[in-house]
Structure 1
Amino acid sequence: MENFTFYKLDSGSDIPYELLLLADETVEAINQYIFNSVIYLLNDGMKDMAVLALYPNSSTELEIKNIAVTEDYRSQGIGSILIKKSKEIATENGYKTLTVGTSDTGFQQIRFYEKNGFIKKGIRKNFFTEHYPFPIYENGLQMRDMIVLAHDLSE
C-alpha cells in the first residue's frame, strides 16, 4: 500500500456514488444507509480506486455496508487491505463485532469474507426481493436472501 492513500471522506464532500454502485445496485439502496455511514476512500495518487462505507448498527457492532474496488485494481489484495482497515477502525472505536451482508448467490464474496476471518452469523430472508424494486441476478441466480457474516474483534 506504499503508493496508496487511505482517507476518510469529509462530511461536506460529494458522495462517491460511482464507486458505491460497484457493490450496490441502485442509488436509492445506497441512500438508505450512506448518510449515517462513514466513508473511506483509497486513492492511487491520481484517482479514487476503492471505497469503504462503515455503519454503526449499535455501540458494539459496526457493519461494512459497502466495499468496492475498481475493475483495474481487483484481485490484487486491495479488498483485504480494506477489510484490515475496517477492523482497525472498528477496534479503535471500541466496537466488539464487525459485520457484513452479502447475497446468497455471491459465492466469491462469501469466500472472500471467510478468508478474511468472518463467519456466517445469520440470514436475512428475502432481503433482496423485498428491498429492491426489480429482480437482481448474480452467477445466473436470482438474489433473494442476505447472508450476514461477522468477525469477533476480541480475537
Structure 2
Amino acid sequence: MLYLMNLEILPTDAPPRDLLLLADECPASVDDYLPRGRCHVALLDGEVVGQYILLHTRPFTAEVVSLSVAPALQRRGIGTRLLDHAVRTARTLGFRRLEIGTGDTGFDQLRLYERCGFVRCGIDRGYFTRFYPAPVIENGLVCRDMVRLSMDLDRPAR
C-alpha cells in the first residue's frame, strides 16, 4: 500500500495536461472549463500524481470535474483524498451542493464517488455521443450517457 503521509493537495494555475486529458479525453471540453475552475493538484514527494477542478456551475452549486490520478498510482487512496479535499473546499467556499459526473461505463469511478458520499441524481442520456467527436471506450464498452451524482453539503461530513 502506498504511503500517503507525504501527499499534499495544493491549488495551481497549471495542472498537467496529460492528467486533464486522462479524466476528460475531449480537449475542447477541457479548454472550456479549465479557465473557469479552481485547480488543485496532489503532490506525492513533490511529484504531481493527481488533480481535480472545482467549477462553480449554479448558485450555491459546484461541480468536481477532471478528477484524475496517475494510472500507476490508482486504487491507492489518492482519488479519495482528492474528493475529500474537494468537499472541504466547496464547503469552505460556501457551496451547498457538490456535483460530479462520469460516463455510464466508469464503474470504478461510480464506486469511488458513491463510497465518498455522492448519490446518483440523474442521467444525461447521449451526452458523450452528442458532445464528443469520437467514441469514448471504457471497460471495453462505448460510453454514451453521463451519470450525474450529487452531495448535499449542508449535512455534516461523512
TM-score w.r.t. the length of structure 1 is 0.93
Q: What is the alpha-carbon distance in structure 1 between the residues aligned to residue 32 and residue 138 of structure 2?
A: 22
Do the aligned residues in 2 keep the contact of 1:19 with 1:69 (CA within 8 Å)?
yes
1:18 is matched with which residue? 18
Map of 1:1-155 to 2, 5 A cutoff? 1-10=4-13, 14-155=14-155
Identity %: 33
Structure 2 gaps of 5+ residues are none
1:29 deviation in Å? 1.9
1:2 deviation in Å? 2.5
Q: What is the alpha-carbon distance in structure 2 between the residues aligned to residue 7 and residue 79 of structure 1?
A: 14
Do the aligned residues in 2 keep the contact of 1:17 with 1:27 (CA within 8 Å)?
no
Q: Which runs of 4+ in 1 moved over 3 A?
A: none
Q: What is the alpha-carbon distance in structure 2 between the residues aligned to residue 110 and residue 20 of structure 1?
A: 18
Q: What is the alpha-carbon distance in structure 2 between the residues aligned to residue 144 and residue 100 of structure 1?
A: 16
Q: What is the alpha-carbon distance in structure 2 between the residues aligned to residue 39 and residue 84 of structure 1?
A: 15
Q: Secondary structure at the match of 1:86?
A: helix
Cα deviations across residues 85-132 of structure 1 (Å, max 9, x unaligned)?
Answer: 001001001101110010011112111111110100111111100111
1:15 deviation in Å? 4.2
Q: Secondary structure at the match of 2:135?
A: coil
Q: What is the alpha-carbon distance in structure 1 between the residues aligned to residue 72 and residue 142 of structure 2?
A: 27
1:26 deviation in Å? 2.5
- Amino acid of the structure 2 residue aligned with 1:9: T
Q: What is the alpha-carbon distance in structure 2 between the residues aligned to residue 72 and residue 144 of structure 1?
A: 26
Do the aligned residues in 2 keep the contact of 1:105 with 1:142 (CA within 8 Å)?
yes
Q: Secondary structure at the match of 1:79?
A: helix
TM-score w.r.t. the length of structure 2 is 0.91
Structure 1 gaps of 5+ residues are none
- Amino acid of the structure 2 residue aligned with 1:3: N
Question: Normalized per residue, which structure has more strand?
Answer: 2
